[in-house]
Amino acid sequence: MPTQADPCSQPNLIQPDEAIALLLKQVAPPDGSEVVQLTHALGRILAEDLTSAIDLPPFDNSAMDGYAFRFDDLSVNKSLTLIGQSFAGHPFQGEITPNTCIRIMTGAPLPFGYDTVQMQERVDAKEQTVVIEAPKAKGANLRYRGEEIKTGGKVLSRGTLIGAAQMGVLATIGVSQLRVIHQVKVAFFSTGDELRPVGSELSPGQIYDSNRYTIQGLLSRANIDWIDLGVIADDPEAIRHAFRDAASRADMVLTSGGVSVGDADYTKQILNEEGEITFWRLAIKPGKPFAFGHLGKAVFCGLPGNPVSSMVTFYKLVWPLLQKMQGLPHIQPLQLKAKLKGDLRKFPGRVEYQRGILSHNEQGEAEVSLTGGQGSGMLTSMSLANCFVILNQEQGDTPNGTLVTVEPFNSVLC
């Protein structure tokens, strides 16, 4: 274990978990809600508990393609007389008499009087005469009315994120519109004289602004309403105007750049004049500088300018805040252990979120390799990755084969 410390680490850095806990106390869950059509509910969050107005299934029906009959009839004679059929959407209309059966298809209603279904592979049917191999018990191969959900039973709770499965469940109980929590609105911009938007030519010393596109992607994937305010030059009046404009139009103002110690731009100075902002130095790498506070009624988050740092701080700090502001419960991200493929370089001093590719080897064991260079400006380290490799503060260089902690990327975001 090397003893050399991270040259960028300093005393009194704030631990990521401590920072998240402090930040979460500063934001409140939303109170407004609105009604949307089911077809527009994907990615929205339920504002109330939802109960079912119907039993599910709504009627007893067959779980198999086969034959329906009275179980007790088979104890006398395994040969029954075929008297009709029940197809999905076309129930059997006749009278049930002893020692009879009907052809029945999956999802078709079970006629009153029958109590069991046998799958067609265990039946020998010759015209009207059907010889049935007795199933293990009465009631086999049936789905009973109300066995999944009873009328009045809770189906989804307030705070549930509506995904594909939830949309299907709502349709199953006949819900065409639902009450969801108001979307959070985030206004974002990039700061820096060196930044140019895509589609323009670069002059010497300039680079393309990438953070705005990453942030747009993250917010869109999280189904958050956003306003893109572009690139703001390192000009005091332009920055002041952008902060005021953003704060008047959104629940959160999100910027990147200009929050590190010794920055030559005016962002920090103007933030101090316009709001109540704390400049944090976090014990994480990448992503040490981070600003948080309030600008008017809006929450403010200032991400570091380096592209990977801004993504990691969004992921670790801004996303939990947005979850709470949206009315979602705070769920600790899934972490697991994987065998490191290759050697890993690290100075002790900060928690590191290196970027990895998680997979399985032939023995079914989880293993992870890094995505090449891990510089805080190398965004391809994120675009090639499917997980973070999380290394604790004291950890130093780590050899091939070590079990390391990995956190798969949240599929809502990346």
Residues lying near Mg ion in the complex (CB under 5 A): 192, 257-258, 305
What is the contact mask toward ligand AMP in residues 277 to 306, using x (rule: CB under 6 A)?
Answer: ---------------------------xxx
Does a cis peptide bond (omega within 30 degrees of 0) precede residue 286? yes
Q: Which is nearer to Mg ion, 258 or 286 (CB)?
A: 258
What is the residue whose two structure tokens read 């008047």?
248
Q: Which two tokens stand for residue 225?
A: 């309403």
In the complex, residue closest to ligand AMP by CB: 305
Q: Shortest distance, CB of residue 253 to ligand AMP, whole angstroms?
A: 15
109 secondary structure, DSSP code: B
Q: Which is nearer to ligand AMP, 80 or 311 (CB)?
A: 311
Give the span between the Cα atoms of 91 and 331, in whole angstroms. 46
Q: Shortest distance, CB of residue 263 to Mg ion, whole angstroms?
A: 6
AA letter at 134: A
Nearest in space to 235 (alpha carbons), one of 211, 267, 259, 263: 267
Cα distances from 164 to residues 44, 92, 182, 297, 351, in angstroms, run 11, 34, 20, 34, 35
Of the residues 263, 278, 294, 366, which one makes contact with ligand AMP according to CB under 6 A = 263
Of the residues 55, 60, 73, 209, which one makes contact with ligand AMP according to CB under 6 A = 209
Q: Does 235 bind ligand AMP (CB under 6 A)?
A: no
Of the residues 115, 193, 194, 235, which one makes contact with ligand AMP according to CB under 6 A = 194
Nearest in space to 410 (alpha carbons), one of 333, 337, 354: 333
Q: Which is nearer to ligand AMP, 235 or 263 (CB)?
A: 263
Of the residues 16, 57, 111, 257, which one makes contact with ligand AMP according to CB under 6 A = 257
Which positions from 295 through 354 interact with ligand AMP, judged by CB under 6 A? Answer: 304-307
Q: Shortest distance, CB of residue 316 to ligand AMP, whole angstroms?
A: 17
Exposed/middle/buried for residue 199 (C-beta within 10 Å: 0-12, 13-18, 19+): exposed
Which one of ligand AMP, Mg ion, none is in contact with 313 (Cβ closer than 5 to 8 A by kind)? none
List Cβ neighbours of 328 (8 Å cut-off, separation of 6 or more): 45, 159, 161
Q: Shortest distance, CB of residue 89 to ligand AMP, whole angstroms?
A: 57
Give the strands of the sheet with 79-86, arranged side by side.
116-119, 66-69, 100-104, 79-86, 129-132, 123-126
Residues that bind ligand AMP (CB under 6 A): 190, 192, 194-195, 207, 209-212, 256-258, 260, 263, 304-307
